[in-house]
Amino acid sequence: MFYTFVSFYLLKKIIPNNKYSTIILFCTFLSTLVHFVTTRFLMPHAVEFFLCSLILYLFEHNKQKKLNNFNITILLISYFFLSLTRPSTFLYTIILFLIYRDRLKFEIKNFTIISPILLIFIFSYTKISNLLYSENYMFLNTYGSDMDAYTSTINIEQIILGIIKLPNLFLSSSMGVIWSTPIVFFGLLSFFKEYFSKKNINLNSFLYFIYFAGSSAPLLIWQGREVAYGQRLLIGILPICILFVSRNIENFNFIKLLIYPITAITYIGYLFFYSSSKLTLFKGVTLWGTTVGFVGQNYYIELVKGILNIENIISVLLRNIYSVNFFKFVNLENLLLSFPNLNNFSSGKVNKFISFASTYQELSVNYLFIATAAIFTFSILFAKLIIEQD
């Protein structure tokens, strides 16, 4: 939560201040990122988002000035940690050095300062790689031992078929980008509008295209085998997407029309995640057509079917910090016995609800207090950050 809050704080400093800032930032938070901040918080995606936000902030802040040695040092440190956190993101994020080439000072004295830092980072990276994988190179080991098996199956036919299926990546009900990670969809639309609809084609338009194409490479390699809520392999481009949407939304009626309802769909979709056997990850077919052990197959279709299901709604109500605090001190079994329509529910569902509540009752009071305080502090500060106009 700390990394996420600081990320949005930095991003708000570099985006245009307009009436759409709040919905853009909230849409970004809901774009897959929320799952790895509030549910799967031990995974590195929040740190990846922070590092990419910091890198973009350093490039965008005070754009009229050249980067000084301190800025360059912070950039190199950020890139170093990004290479450890998400090597694939590190590779395509290097393109930002070319996009923001006008901010770099090509002087000999700068190279004498930067070169030792680079050597230290390369040495450290090699040592860490050897400790983790007994190899000097760990980009292909980003996702553990399975990565070697996946990369060994890559061929031209697979890549071509993946490119053909790119429309599925955006439109599919099985965690397609437009539903689960909408800021990327809006960001790409804004990019094409800014650089191509106005015939503003130049070197940067080509570099940004390579940047976005590079971000899709891990998706073409994995093709749904990363098994996760949403599109977690695209978290690294969320900051750039915020920037493009913020710069173009006021003159882009299509985005203005869609951003509110699609954000609402994404929000509801996340609220109902894990609420039933259909609204979760299970063995099935991904939007790429691959069969994996955990996938949100037809998730948003099932969401429409189950959104008014009372059992799903109860499940949603039980899976939040308010319920955890409530059922820590209230016995759900006794409460259900006083419920007049209890017979309308299957005994299996009732027992599952009681099991949830029992888990909450076993929590340490100190742990619950710290967790509740952290969640409420983050929620209040984050809401204040995105709502307030500078």
Query: Cα(first)–Cα(last) distance of the chain, in Å?
Result: 23
Tell whether 264 and 337 lie within a shared domain. Answer: no
Task: Please identify, among 219, 239, 274, the residue that sits at the C-terminal boundary of a domain.
Answer: 274
Tell whether 232 and 326 lie within a shared domain. Answer: no
**Which residues fall within 8 angstroms of residue 102, CB to CB, at 6 or more apart?**
none
Residue 285 near residue 295 (C-beta atoms within 8 A): yes
Residue range 337-349, pLDDT digits in tens: 666 666 666 677 6
Residue 287 lies in a domain: no
Tell whether 247 and 336 lie within a shared domain. Answer: no
Tell whether 93 and 154 lie within a shared domain. Answer: yes
Tell whether 243 and 380 lie within a shared domain. Answer: no
Tell whether 259 and 335 lie within a shared domain. Answer: no
Residue 342: predicted pLDDT: 61
Q: Give the chain's residues under pLDDT 50.
A: 140-145
Dihedral pair phi/psi, residue 307, rounded to 5°: -65, -25
**Which residues fall within 8 angstroms of residue 62, CB to CB, at 6 or more apart?**
none
Residue 140: predicted pLDDT: 47
Residue 337: predicted pLDDT: 66
Which secondary-structure segment (H or E) carries 178? Answer: helix 177-180
Residue range 206-224, pLDDT digits in tens: 999 999 999 988 888 777 6
Residue 32 lies in a domain: yes
* Distance in angstroms (rounded) separating the CA atoms of residues 36 and 73: 28
Task: Please identify, among 274, 303, 331, the residue that sits at the C-terminal boundary of a domain.
Answer: 274
Residue 219 near residue 290 (C-beta atoms within 8 A): no
Residue 287: predicted pLDDT: 87
Residue 276: predicted pLDDT: 87
DSSP one-letter code for 194: I
Tell whether 229 and 369 lie within a shared domain. Answer: no
Tell whether 223 and 368 lie within a shared domain. Answer: no
Residue 152: predicted pLDDT: 58
Domain that includes residue 349, residue range: 320-387
Tell whether 158 and 247 lie within a shared domain. Answer: yes
Residue 288 lies in a domain: no
The amino acid present at 1, given as its one-letter code, is M
Residue 123 lies in a domain: yes
Residue 297 lies in a domain: no
179, two tokens:
């539903």
